[in-house]
Structure 1
Amino acid sequence: MRILHLGLGNFFRAHQAWYTAATPGAGDWPIAAFTGRSAEAAVRLNAQHGRYTLLVRGPERDQAEIIGAIDHAYPASDDQAWRELLASSRTAVLTLTVTEAAYLRGAGGGLDESRAAADVAAWLRGDPVRTVPGRLMAGLAERRVSGGGPIAIVPCDNLPANGEAAARVVLDFTSLAEPALVPWIRDNVSFVTTMVDRITPRTTPEDVRTAAELTGFDDAVPVVTEPYSEWVLSGVFPAGRPEWEAAGARFVADVTAHEQRKLLLLNGGHSLLAYAGGPRGHETVAEAVADPECRAWLDQWWDEAGRYVPLPPGELAEYRAALVTRFSNARIRHKLAQIAADGSQKVPIRVLPVLRGEVQAGRIPPGAVRILAGWIDHLRGLGVPVDDAGAKPFQERASAVRDVLALLVPDLADDDALVAAVERATLTSGGAPR
């Protein structure tokens, strides 16, 4: 059997590919991986026969491992290979790491038809499609025609209920472009929900040298990651799967609690440090968490967010302690600019559940307010540069906090106390975080 993957980035190679390589019988599950955009990663990996070095960077030293799970890498532009591989009955699992923005979700969680319109038109003309929902539909259409049989699609991006989210945009796209395919997808495609966790910073030239020194392998594309890793999955695999649990993955009936824990505490904490730490001159997570003021803000946010994670207090306390250890690993240069990217997609799912819950309980939450204020400062040009395809409508309104909230969280935009709190917390309007 075979795994097909879309989104050939560092996280995938440190996470899903690593789990697959660590399973018994890994050779029976070769991975065919496609880049999300650029062809460069595919070219470099193929020159190395798919092998690469995983540098596990602890607080004191690095450990290096050669990973050989990728059988072949393909550029995003190779539409024929994509459709043929997804159509093949040998392909039993399709995993995705494409970022939250790539699902083209609208405000209600369904497909944003305006952003998908060009791709729908391309399909109807018989031209290649380029968006993630479009590519999934195109491959599944080929699979139905060829009799490829059932398949599991496993999104590994930081979206709540990511299996359901992926299913919805794929079915929405298919309803517009190829309605007759919808029943086949419902009957033959399983969308598995997952929670993934492993910090994976961008690779530097120094990392390339370190990998070569430790292994003797002249690797052009090594990956750096932390010792910690977590993968929790819920769903069915109608065509089979690797024995990922042997490598530490967990299969559960419902990932919601673990998903909320990670999304609010880790990802939300990262967003706080990115938007509040950047203006204080910090470049990495470790620098920001070493700042006593940022550290206090982080605890404040965690106190708020923890109320919305349905796990025992002791388990949450252990997780928070583990996060501090992970964030403090100065040898992992996890840049705040990387975390701050695509804030228009990240802030709603990392912050708004807590904000709404606290406001409904009659509280103005200073932690959530600080993240919103920091993000608005970011949109106004303070801190790390904006790298966000969805930022424009927010930037156009960024001069007025109420206007940003009206677009981001319209049900709370008329809350004068909340608007005033966010205004006071912004640095660009003369206030200071408190």
Structure 2
Amino acid sequence: MASFKLNNQNLSQIAAKVLVPQYNRSILKTGIVHVGIGGFHRSHQAYYTDQLLHDETTKDWGICGVALLDFDAKIYNTLKEQDGLYTLIVKELDGSLTKSVIGSIVEYLFAPEDPKKVIEKMASPEVKIISLTITEGGYNYDEATGAFNFGNTLIQQDLDNPQAPKTIFGYLTQALKLRKERSLKGCTIQSCDNIQGNGHVAKKMLLSYVRVAEPGLVAWIEANVSFPNAMVDRITPATSALDIEILKESSDIDDAWPVVCEPFKQWVIEDDFIEGRPAWETVGAQFVEDVVPYEKMKLRLLNAGHSVLGILGALYGFSTIDEAASNADISSFLRIYMGNEVTPTLGGLEGVNLKNYKFSLIQRFGNTYIKDQIDRICSQSSAKIPIFILPVVYEQLEKKGSIDYAAFVIAAFAIYSVGVNEFGTQLIIKDAMEIVLNEKAILSRKNPEAFLEIESIFGKLKSNETFVEAYIKAYQNIVQNGIEKSVKDINSNVLNEI
């Protein structure tokens, strides 16, 4: 049987096989501009919004997806050819697939093609929210100081060419400037990235840029733009060619870029939307006064857990996260790390059973049907480790708690950054700091402390004797005895888990 190309015209035929939008997409207003229309946005915020749009009274919250960077051309062209539609494939724990077509993205723009069009859309009176999934590195701050990085050549380009920006900060500044000049209302800038205090960070970085680019705009932003914090969670691996083929064979849908994800989802949001918001709470989101405890829980357990599995798994020679999570020694390592080092740094979590949450993470990581690639999880580790792991190190050092497992992970990261594991397998390293990481990793073969000299990642950690001692011990153990024996050795010293 012939498959149907996913687009508006073929929705009625596709509806015979999978769930499709039951709302009239043509009458939706674009209330949200979202920058960064990759897999996570489409499995999370766009999914929640799609569910909400099935309420016939909701017509003001369609999404305009913006592809910001040159290499985003593929996703832009895909959405354009498919009328913004895509298939969400939920890989259940029993291996079954729950499929639905998502229709909340009703417009799509490619920023490099027409920057002014994107600026105008962001400045549109009907747009109440500009949301972001631009990755941890997209916020352009120095990990050691927390200050905005004006040394970034793209930032310099935006300052010199404000009407043809390359970064999110250039776009937001020009859009907000238009709103002010046209006496329009402000809007909400909503970060959906894995950064603790992501709203606070977005505000701090934007205002840092604006003070240099458009200093007269600062007071207007402070009075008319809100930056709610949020915690987001749904494991969303890269889509494979096999996923595309299975969708075509099982459901007769020809979708060039479906999204696959796990069944679990969570969205905890600070209720601070200056010009209104969708009623996402009616479809499972949770609005709270203080997001911080939930953010810490997720960043330090789930996101850090992913990094632990990714780095150790790469050294073991595994290619997917579920393989690493299914290894008894790595699983025990992660359980002990979460129980002995992370848990003491987490505060009160209303409505959360922390022990159950940690057990659920082990189950989620081990979902054999997700097949999240280790090289994806390890990508941009130089930006992830200071956010996911090092805050635990600093807090534990202050209270004289255990840091041995975190130090072991950093040592493993130094060895990983050489680019080849002990079995001679080349490692795929995708990192903005790849060259520096590699140079310091090679120097560390003679002097392990050399890796800790990367101040933009590790700050002043090299001067802490307790941490350095644990790090060197772990480094030497891995080099001398191999990763597998080293993990067994460190586990054998601890009885506590989760």
Counterpart of 1:309 in structure 2 is 346
Q: Is 1:260 aligned to residue 303 of structure 2? A: no
Q: Distance in 2 between matches of 1:18 and 1:275?
A: 30
Counterpart of 2:83 in structure 1 is 49
Counterpart of 1:7 in structure 2 is 36
State how 1:129-168 maps to structure 2 within 5 Å: 129-168=165-204
Q: Is 1:71 aligned to residue 123 of structure 2? A: no
Q: Distance in 1 between matches of 2:180 and 2:330?
A: 52
Contact residue 4 and residue 86 of structure 1 kept, 8 A? yes
Q: Distance in 1 between matches of 2:347 and 2:177?
A: 39
Q: Is 1:358 aligned to residue 393 of structure 2? A: no
Q: Distance in 1 between matches of 2:334 and 2:58?
A: 40
Q: Which structure 2 residue ranges, 5 or more long, are not aligned?
A: 1-28, 422-426, 491-498
Counterpart of 2:151 in structure 1 is 114
**1:91 aligned counterpart, secondary structure:** coil
Larger radius of gyration: 2
Q: Is 1:421 aligned to residue 455 of structure 2? A: no
Counterpart of 1:29 in structure 2 is 61
Q: Distance in 1 between matches of 2:281 and 2:139?
A: 27
What TM-score, normalized by structure 1, do the two folds share?
Answer: 0.95
Question: Aligned-pair distance for 1:164?
Answer: 0.4
Q: Distance in 2 between matches of 1:275 and 1:7?
A: 26
Question: Aligned-pair distance for 1:27?
Answer: 4.1
Counterpart pick for 2:132 among 89, 96, 99: 96
Q: Distance in 1 between matches of 2:45 and 2:59?
A: 15
Counterpart of 2:10 in structure 1 is none
State how 1:217-232 maps to structure 2 within 5 Å: 217-232=253-268
Question: Aligned-pair distance for 1:6?
Answer: 0.1
Deviations 1:210-248 (A, max 9, x none): 223444332111100110000010042122211111110
Counterpart pick for 1:430 among 480, 483, 497: 480
Deviations 1:242-273 (A, max 9, x none): 11111100100000111011000101111111
Aligned length: 433
% same residue: 32
Deviations 1:130-171 (A, max 9, x none): 112222212212222233312011000011100000001100
Question: CA 1:15–1:287 in 2, change beyond 3 Å: closer, same or farther?
Answer: same
**2:190 aligned counterpart, secondary structure:** strand
Question: Aligned-pair distance for 1:59?
Answer: 1.9
Question: CA 1:125–1:334 in 2, change beyond 3 Å: closer, same or farther?
Answer: closer
Q: Is 1:291 aligned to residue 327 of structure 2? A: yes
Question: CA 1:417–1:238 in 2, change beyond 3 Å: closer, same or farther?
Answer: closer
Q: Is 1:247 aligned to residue 247 of structure 2? A: no
Contact residue 87 and residue 146 of structure 1 kept, 8 A? no
Q: Distance in 1 between matches of 2:191 and 2:335?
A: 30
Question: Aligned-pair distance for 1:414?
Answer: 2.6
Q: Which structure 1 residue ranges, 5 or more long, are not aligned?
A: none
Root mean square deviation, CA, Å: 1.9
**2:128 aligned counterpart, secondary structure:** strand
The residue type paired with residue 382 of structure 2 is S
Counterpart of 2:241 in structure 1 is 205
Moved more, 414-423 or 226-235: 414-423
Moved more, 255-264 or 70-79: 70-79
Counterpart of 2:97 in structure 1 is 62
Q: Distance in 2 between matches of 1:135 and 1:204?
A: 32
Contact residue 116 and residue 163 of structure 2 kept, 8 A? no
**1:56 aligned counterpart, secondary structure:** strand
Contact residue 412 and residue 478 of structure 2 kept, 8 A? no
Contact residue 27 and residue 69 of structure 1 kept, 8 A? no
Question: CA 1:197–1:351 in 2, change beyond 3 Å: closer, same or farther?
Answer: same
The residue type paired with residue 88 of structure 2 is L
Counterpart of 1:273 in structure 2 is 309
